[in-house]
Amino acid sequence: MISGISVFLLFCIGGLHVFWAFGGQWGSRVAIPATSGLGEQTFKPGPIATLIVAILLFSSALLLSIQGGLLPVLPSFPWVQWGCWLCVFVFGLRAIGDFKYVGLFKRVKQTRFATYDTFLFTPLCLWLCFTFYFTLIYN
């Protein structure tokens, strides 16, 4: 059940990145950290970088599906477990953050991104980190 929810979330977020890569705007204003309350973004990802993130999100959903037994046709090879451990660390590090703009220990807190990061993005990363860890330990 936990794995299924997380796989669904990863596919939705991956789909959102594909939408952005092809020019969609919905939600994009709060998806990139801002340097101040004026909304100046710290970086502007291009379509290729955004598609790469989408592919990584879809790949992590596939890894979690295999490790969690949601795709019983595909056996869990050692590379699946290594990939899941990598996801534990990536989502865990994202939740901790860069100590300035993103994560639990960010210092810039007066932006729209920071609000979304506090109440949505960081808890989501903690959830995904926990889900991958839980799936590795109990499957």
Q: What is the mean pLDDT of residues 8-20?
A: 97
pLDDT surpasses 90 at 81 = yes
pLDDT digit string, tens, across residues 51-80: 999 999 999 999 999 999 898 777 778 899
pLDDT surpasses 90 at 14 = yes
At residue 37, the pLDDT reads 67
At residue 119, the pLDDT reads 95
Q: What is the mean pLDDT of residues 5-25?
A: 96
**% pLDDT > 90, the chain:** 71
pLDDT digit string, tens, across residues 84-133: 999 999 999 999 999 999 999 999 988 899 999 999 999 999 999 999 99
Which residues are within 8 A (CB) of 35 and not within 5 positions of it... i.e. 6 or more apart? 41, 42, 101, 108, 111
> Can you list the alpha helix ranges (DSSP code H) found in the chain?
2-21, 47-67, 78-96, 112-116, 122-138
Backbone dihedral region of 76: left (phi > 0), alpha (psi from -120 to 50 degrees) or beta? beta
Domain boundaries, the chain: 2-138
CB 51 within 8 A of CB 44: no
